[in-house]
Amino acid sequence: MTEIKICGLSTADSVDAAVAAGADYLGFNFFPKSPRYVDADKAAALAARVPSHVAKVGIFVDPDDAALDMACAAARLDVIQLHDVADPARISAIAARYRLPVWAVVSVQGSADVASGRRYKGAADRLLFDAKTPKGADLPGGMGLRFDWRLLAGVSHFGLPWGLAGGLDPHNVAEAIAATGAALVDVSSGVETAPGVKSIEKIRAFIKAAKAA
């Protein structure tokens, strides 16, 4: 069955809804420019609501060790998700330092972007293919953009588990799973009413649709 990650959670109600509906992963955003940003205190309070069978994922954009230290301690993270970290050696160093699985986000616009994911073999534990945001955008993801899923043909040969993000919502997630065979789907803006404002109904609908697929 496809695993499900609800990303960018910042309220107790949205965390509780995602857990109750059956999410496998909950994402907490530690990038200060994001409308979904949570500081150490909020992250700790939200993480305390998450049962042990649901994994807590910290989302970071090219973080230094101080930011990772803070988040890992506050939220007792189970997974580190990295945007804008192109160097496999840096990913390996983070995995070794924190002894946690590390997901490398691959921003996709064309086939060359997908192919670039190969460089993370031996460093990352999972690839997450997301739509590339416009040049100059403040955010590396979470903008509701979608890429051509046909570009993922052959990704299974990369030798790494992978997931799909970018432009997913309750209405297209089943189609996305059928088209790509993704073992994990990741949603943020697709279950919101405004940037950073999660909809309990959309969270439930997304998880229901993904499980049915």
The verdict on whether 130 is a catalytic residue reads: yes
Contact indicator for 186, 27 with CB cutoff of 8 Å: yes
d(CA 31, CA 41): 15
CA distance 5 to 57: 9
* Spatial CA neighbour of 162 closest among 106, 93, 85, 87: 106
Could you give the C-alpha distances from 210 to 157, 171, 174, 187, 188, in angstroms and in order?
24, 10, 6, 11, 14
Q: Which of 94, 97, 96 lies closest to 81 in space, CA to CA?
A: 94
Helices 40-47 and 65-75: angle between axes, nearest 10 degrees: 30
Catalytic, out of 7, 24, 72, 186:
7
Known catalytic residue: 7? yes
- Determine how β-strand 25-29 pairs with β-strand 192-194: unpaired
Active-site annotation holder among 24, 130, 169, 186: 130
Q: Show which residues are catalytic.
A: 7, 130
